[in-house]
Amino acid sequence: MTQSLHENASPRRRHRRRTALVLVGALIASGAVGLPAQAAVIDPAAYYQIVSRHSGKAVAIAGQSSADGAVVEQRTRADVAGQQFQFVDAGSGHHKLRARHSGKVVDVASASTANGANVVQWTDNGGTNQQFRVTDTDSGYVKLINRNSGKALDVRDQSTADGARLSQYTDTGAVNQQWQLVRVGAAPAPKYAGYLFSYFTGEGSSTGEQVYFALSQGNDPTRWRQLNSGRPVLTSAIGTRGVRDPFIIRSPQGGKFYQIATDLRMYGNGNWDQVQRTGSKSLVVWESTDLVNWSVPRLARVSPDTAGNTWAPEAYYDETLGQFVVFWASKLYSPNDPNHTGNTYNRMMYATTPDFRTFSAAQVWVDKGYSTIDSTLAKHNGTYYRFTKDERGTSQSPCGKFVLAEKSATILNRDYSFVTDCIGNNAIRQGEGPLVFKSNTEERWYMFIDEYGGRGYVPFTTTDLNTRQWTPLSGYTMPGRPRHGTVLPVTQAEYDRLLQRWA
């Protein structure tokens, strides 16, 4: 930067009448990748954070300096004036980006037109190197194109680090040149940008009992796209060499995901009685730090010798215990019946683990005197809501083969209170494998129930977990015919990685 270039710039323009620039962009938090986003309006009286698509970090003035020449960088988002900018009309569709803390504007150093030129803050002198055009992208973000050079505001070297400098570079459309405009003081953008769906497809093909992925269309959990061209993402060559009922959980400490599944292959077998007498006593476990790169699968034994099967494992992190509670269904046989020849029923079992490698001894969690399987949990306002498949036939109970809802103040309570039963019987013939998750954008929950022998998953919704009323949805798009799995909320960075890897 040389002082003379700024002193010799054209005089500051007279302030023009306020205008509002309509653009597609500020609602990228909806995550509608590849779809038109809603139009939003830049308010010239408001301040905005300018958030990088590729890193999730905000444009910032280094050290919140008020000096001419202070570096413009990216920094983890914080409620500070050095990350807040006003879009000031500069005429002809261009804007100046005025820092709230200093009153100075974002400037391409020395009015350079070169790739890699530094971006700094400088006193507003009306130069075209201090003016940017806000340009929409087809994915809902915006690009900021410098008027002097025609080049895009860019995070240097596509860095994700705090302190990475901003520069200008030829417009390539890369994600380090795309920005979300977040109005300061507005309702915060959703923490999550979409949902990952992990599932299997059934025993009707040689690859159906493996793990498949799909992504929602942004934060719409009723619209899905298959990943990896509809082929399995994870496969197992251990244990029975088949996996069903995959379940993903995010570690509360961050930085790790666990995926667990039933070790069961029914393709070419079909003997449901036998696999509940002499089936696997282990879970299949994968680990990942980014949802894209996964460890090789391993077997983790959780069931006792008296168990005949280990079905549909799920997990929930309990803050009181400081561990994960893992639960699954097993038929338990008498210790005096080592060959498991007697008659019995499925109970819900549980064990605790800090790392999905070492587990406490299995204990009974749900024993109703008849078979129950496929429990799943949701927690809201300090209450655990448990949803379980009633395995009885319809001749034994009118609510057999549908979903039972219960609640408790503690996760390992043996006596959850009744909420409702027969969930699903107004819309499906029979159901199992319920999965429940909260909306990323509103106070609403979704339950997908697997209509086995029929359509696969069918979605229901409610605004109150403590209710009988689960309304079936219509007009939804599932990724093929998914069977028992998980829906996991994902951040924008996670969403983009999954798309890049498997789209």
7 pLDDT tier (thresholds 50, 70, 90): very low
Per residue in 238-262, pLDDT (tens digit) is 999 999 999 999 998 778 999 999 9
- In the chain, what percentage of residues exceed pLDDT 90? 82
- Quick check: 419 and 403 in contact, CB under 8 A? no
Task: Determine the Cα–Cα distance for residues 373 and 265; give it in Å rounded to an integer.
Answer: 18
Q: What pLDDT sits at residue 413?
A: 95
| Contact between residue 418 and residue 399 where contact means Cβ atoms under 8 Å apart | no
Residues facing residue 281 across a β-bridge: none
Per-residue pLDDT reduced to its tens digit, 387-399: 999 999 989 999 9
pLDDT at 185: 82
Nearest Cα to Cα of residue 282 among 239, 326, 332:
239
Neighbours of 20 (CB within 10 A): 12
If DSSP codes are grouped into helix, strand and coil, which group holds residue 7? helix
| Side-by-side strand order, sheet with 298-301 | 243-250, 257-263, 282-288, 298-301
> String of b and e for 147-161 (b: at least 16 CB within 10 Å)?
bbbebbbbbbeebee
Q: What angle do CA 15, 16, 18 make, to 5 degrees?
A: 115
418-450: pLDDT as tens digits: 999 999 998 999 999 999 999 999 999 999 999
Residue where the block lists tokens 């244990």: 239
Beta carbons within 8 Å of 228's beta carbon, 6+ residues apart = 212, 213, 502
Contact between residue 200 and residue 206 where contact means Cβ atoms under 8 Å apart: no
For residue 311, list its beta bridge partners.
329
Phi first, then psi: give them for residue 62, nearest 5 degrees. -55, 130
Question: Per-residue pLDDT tens for 43-52?
Answer: 888 999 999 9
pLDDT at 269: 78
Predicted confidence band of residue 42 (pLDDT cuts 50, 70, 90):
confident
Q: What structural domains does the chain harbor?
A: 3-183 (2.80.10.50), 194-502 (2.120.10.10)
Query: Contact 347/330 with Cβ under 8 angstroms?
Result: yes
Total residues found in the chain within this entry? 503
Q: What is the pLDDT of residues 112-147, one digit of tens each?
A: 999 999 999 999 999 999 999 999 886 678 999 999
Q: Taking the CB of residue 117, how many other CB atoms lie within 10 A of it?
A: 21
Q: Is the pLDDT at 190 greater than 80, yes or no?
A: no
List CB contacts of 470: < 8 A, sequence separation 6 or more: 423, 424, 447, 460, 461, 462
Cβ density class 184-207: b for 16+ within 10 Å, e for less: eeeeebbebbbbbbbbbbbbeeee
How far is Cα 391 from Cα 393, in angstroms, rounded to an integer?
7
Average pLDDT over residues 183-189: 72
User: Three-class SS of residue 143?
Assistant: strand
- DSSP for 308-327, written as a single string: S--EEEEEEEETTTTEEEEE
CA angle, 193 as apex, 187 and 195 as ends, to 5°?
135
Residue 310 CA to residue 327 CA, distance in Å, equals 9
Average pLDDT, the chain: 90
* Cα 258 to Cα 291, 297, 313, 325, 356, distances in angstroms: 9, 11, 12, 13, 8
